[in-house]
Structure 1
Amino acid sequence: MRALLSAVFLALAMTGSVTAYAETPPAAAKTKAAYKVQETDLGTMLDDPASKAILLKHIPEIVNSPQIEMGRGMTLAQLQQFAGDQLTDEKLATIQTELDAVKPN
């Protein structure tokens, strides 16, 4: 098995494929989608310091809630049905505007 992998690697190196791949990052790594209040789960945003700071700024009572762990799998839009007074459409739009500037981890 090791000999086969060595032979494959040597063949790729001789054709320049290994060098070309190493110099060209995958397209997905070049552009990452911004977080979306309609699509990104709360847990993902809480795990990223930049997006968590935005959430703490706008909805600290939700982020600091003892029940926050139960909502980690939900989007902010889904959480709106349980906290509509704190997650108004206007508040979600404001959060989204700031999230648009954040590049996910």
Structure 2
Amino acid sequence: MAFVKRLFGWLILGPVAVVALALAVANRTLVTLSWNPFERSDGIEMPLFVVAFVMFALGALAGGFAVWMAQGRWRREAKTHRAEVRLLSGELAQMRSDPALPSAR
């Protein structure tokens, strides 16, 4: 199963890496990145592919953070359920070891 996952990952990530490399090679033109829309002189120049990759990375991080925040409720519930299972497992082990109680095996 792990081999299939690894193969599937390479079949997906391989072409994505080739496309990203082609994008980087095709977009080497310098662009000016400026925070002031009225003054073009103050800004930094960098290749277009760097801007694109940075924006992609920031978007992936923002999306991951949004999903992580949205799943907070489920993580809290899982944590309380794990604690409850731990408590009940301990109680069951104690009941099974008590000779005075009828057999619960």
Short-chain TM bin: under 0.3
Larger radius of gyration: 2
Relative to its length, the structure with more helix (as a share) is 2
The structure with higher relative contact order (CA 8 Å, sep 6+) is 1
* TM-score in terms of structure 1 length: 0.27
* TM-score in terms of structure 2 length: 0.27
